Amino acid sequence: MMNTKALFILIVIAIYGTAVYFHTQNNKTLRSGIGPTSGPQTSQDEGQLSEELSLQNIVQRTQPDLKDNNTKEAEMSSKTCHPRRQFIFIKTHKTGSCTAVNIFQRYALLHHLSVLIPTGGNLLAWPFPPAEQDYVHTPEEQYDVLLNHVVYNKPWLRSKFPANTAYISIIREPSSQLRSAFNYYSLPRLLKIQSQNPVQTFLQDPWKYKHLSEAYFDFCNVTWDGTRNFMSFDLGYPTEGAEDKERAHRYISELEADFRLFLLLEHLDESLVLLRRLMCWEVRDVLYDIVSKNNRSYPYKSYIPTAQELTNLRRWKAVDYLLYDTFNASLWRKITAQGPDFYEELRYFREVKKRVGTFCRTCKQRRRCDPPSLTIEASKWSRQFAVDSKYCSRIQSQELLLGKYIRERASKEDRKEWTIMRVADNVLRIVQGLPTVKYKAQAE
């Protein structure tokens, strides 16, 4: 009985002591002059005020948690987080990846990162897993960065890069991606379509051309279809799975778990502001040249499919549309989770991008920068930085030139005999009735 009474007394003392402590802390908060000055507060109001002030301090120090399917851990703000310097950028075809890769190339050069370099050219190994002779080896067989066209192959990449490597890619609205692919890869010739608008002709009945659109790369036993699910193919989904909806859903769920972020070409500014936050980079790191890197003109570039043609396309490119719809929704969920501060930074980013673009364009026109540099003042999202001729040169450079700088910095020779054959060139070989080849030298 005495033990029970003693325990009861101890509990009462503990509760009383806790109440006194919080009352004292709340009074200190009010006396500090931070709280409202319009009249006295009740004890309950004081406690609520203290909680609100604590929450405000937390919000000011960190970015909001990212609530998303298969989310990663929340990232701290640039004041407290650490920049991510291990990343893989899977370059998809005809998605604006040449504009985006400039950002990652500049970052790798600026921070002297170890880049996995193709033995020759700028294609790592497409559309097949890299062989030993296809890339430059380091003594420890570990790398920080990959920046080239390569089909996503998780087991191979995990064997070369640290476990905490951030996987990033870029995708595009499938209809516009198809039009770009039609033009660049000479698909009308492959499909034997002769019309002023071959995309329109194709979309009236895509299945009619299936026996022609499926290009077989005999040297590696891979079937590729440039009209169907091209982006998904780049991300590791086989052409043969085009009709398997369950398999497609499973695979895209895996991509959600594996990838840190998919940039969307149609919302590139929003994507890059989010990238900056997730990677804890500087604003200067994610700026890009306002002049498109590989902008081409062709008659059907702006063609808008009819409702029926779009229905046909959604059925034909079902996996690519599932991919795009999934990561389009994911992007906006992540942005919403960032809070209204995100849109303040977006406006700031666009303003800085415009100023830097104007300055660098003038430098290029005059062949010198006058004044020598542009100062971007510090903001809540960025430290002060200067834009000079070197910065302008790199942001305006084509992928091949920056790739050359990366190779030279690594003191690695570009071995032409190991240059991978471009997809467009192999497509032309198919049109001409010639066998496909892995290396460009094999066609000479």
Residue 14's CB: how many other CB atoms inside 10 A?
10
Question: For residue 295, how far is the Cα from the chain centroid?
Answer: 20
Distance CA 88, CA 253 (A): 19
Residue 210 contacts residue 315 (beta carbons within 8 Å) = no
Distance CA 265, CA 331 (A): 12
Mean pLDDT, the chain, as a whole number?
86
Contacts of 409 (CB under 8 A, 6+ apart): 109, 112
Assigned token pair, 102: 């400039």
Note the residue count of the chain. Answer: 444
Question: For residue 354, how far is the Cα from the chain centroid?
Answer: 21
Predicted pLDDT of residue 17: 52
More confident residue, 125 or 67: 125
- Burial zone of 184 (CB within 10 Å; 0-12 exposed, 13-18 middle, 19+ buried): middle
- pLDDT category at 262 given cuts 50, 70, 90 is very high
Residue at 244: amino acid letter: D
The residue written with tokens 């325990």 in the block is 7
- pLDDT category at 3 given cuts 50, 70, 90 is low
330 pLDDT exceeds 60? yes
Per DSSP, the chain holds a count of helices (H) and strands (E) of: 18, 10
pTM of the predicted protein model: 0.81
Predicted pLDDT of residue 379: 95
For the stretch 174-213, pLDDT in tens is 999 999 999 999 999 999 999 999 999 999 999 999 999 9
Query: What's the whole-number mean pLDDT along residues 53-58?
Result: 33
For the stretch 331-349, pLDDT in tens is 999 999 999 899 999 999 9
Predicted pLDDT of residue 189: 96
Residue 396 contacts residue 403 (beta carbons within 8 Å) = no
Distance CA 271, CA 264 (A): 6
- pLDDT category at 23 given cuts 50, 70, 90 is very low
For the stretch 107-152, pLDDT in tens is 999 999 999 999 998 899 888 888 999 999 988 888 999 999 999 9
Predicted pLDDT of residue 21: 45
Predicted pLDDT of residue 57: 35
Predicted pLDDT of residue 22: 43
Predicted pLDDT of residue 367: 92
Assigned token pair, 264: 């969307």
Assigned token pair, 444: 């000479």
Predicted pLDDT of residue 24: 44
Q: For 274-299, give one letter per residue: b (16+ CB within 10 A) or e.
A: bbbbbbbbbbbbbbbbeeebeeeeee
For the chain, the domains span 87-443
158 pLDDT exceeds 70? yes
DSSP 129: P
Residue 208 contacts residue 192 (beta carbons within 8 Å) = no
For the stretch 265-300, pLDDT in tens is 999 999 999 999 999 999 999 999 988 777 788 999
For the stretch 235-254, pLDDT in tens is 999 999 999 999 999 999 99
- pLDDT category at 4 given cuts 50, 70, 90 is low
- pLDDT category at 6 given cuts 50, 70, 90 is low
- pLDDT category at 16 given cuts 50, 70, 90 is low
362 pLDDT exceeds 60? yes
61 pLDDT exceeds 80? no
Beta strands in 1-96 (DSSP E): 87-90
- How many CA atoms within 13 Å lie on the side-chain side of 280? 16
Instruction: Give yes or no for a cis peptide into 127 (omega within 30° of 0).
Output: yes
SS3 assignment, position 224: strand
Predicted pLDDT of residue 10: 53
**How many percent of the chain have pLDDT more than 70?**
82
Predicted pLDDT of residue 53: 32
Predicted pLDDT of residue 59: 31
Q: Give me the architecture of the 87-443 domain, per CATH.
A: 3-Layer(aba) Sandwich (3.40)
Distance CA 187, CA 79 (A): 49
Predicted pLDDT of residue 294: 73
β-partners of residue 273 are none
Predicted pLDDT of residue 351: 98
